[in-house]
Amino acid sequence: MAKSSAMSGAKDATVFGQRHTGSKLLAKLKFWKLSDLLISIITVVDIILSNVSLQKISDNIKSIHEFSDVLSVDLSKTMDEVLIHPSLCSSFANSQLNNISDVSSSRLGEAVNSLKQEKERRLRKLQDLASILIELWNTLDTPADERERFDLFTALISIKVDEVTA
């Protein structure tokens, strides 16, 4: 639908019922192409940010599962305290996480930190008790064969918190 203009030598075109010169048409087409590219970039960035957020949430839920096993804490109670619906736990198992509020995500991270601190506190307490037991044995000159029954307990003195698993 391009027509030549005898005076200017420029090509004209009618697009969506509007008449445009060649340079204006080219500028509008470039703008539309850039707009399409920008929308595509925004979509990709949203997908990436969403995936990163969901991965972080998934990692936190996995940590809560592990801490609950190690500490013998009721998982559903912990999730209720975080105000995360218990179905999220089963969604994690099925890898069907879709959306979670920033508040719930933040609370989830706080729950992980709280459980980690509780794990550290309990291990320190066990290590202190094991040290006291060894001191008591040394004071009472307890034979090694009687101490052997408690080797698993006294071995906790040298263990690191990350080495404790269910």
- The string of pLDDT tens digits covering residues 114-126 is 889 999 999 999 9
Start-to-end CA distance of the chain, whole Å, equals 75
Tally the residues of the chain. Answer: 166
Q: What is the pTM of this model?
A: 0.56
pLDDT-above-90 percentage for the chain: 20
Q: Give the mean model confidence (pLDDT) for residues 9-20.
A: 59
Cα–Cα dist 162/95, whole Å: 26
- Domain definitions of the chain by residue range: 20-163
Q: Kindly report, residue by residue over 41-64, the tens digit of the pLDDT.
A: 777 777 777 777 777 878 888 888
158: pLDDT strictly greater than 60: yes
Helices (H), 13-165: 22-71, 75-82, 87-93, 102-140, 144-147, 151-154
**Single-letter amino acid code for the residue at 82:** V
Which residue, chain included where needed, has tokens 């995360």? 84
* Helices 102-140 & 75-82 angle (0-180, nearest 10): 130
Q: With H, G, I as helix, E, B as strand and everything else as coil, classify residue 115.
A: helix
Token representation of residue 112: 């992980």
Q: Is the pLDDT of residue 83 over 50?
A: yes
Mean pLDDT across the chain? 75
pLDDT at 63: 85
Q: How far apart are CA 141 and CA 139, in angstroms?
A: 6
Element (H, E) at 19: strand 18-21
More confident site: 161 or 26: 161
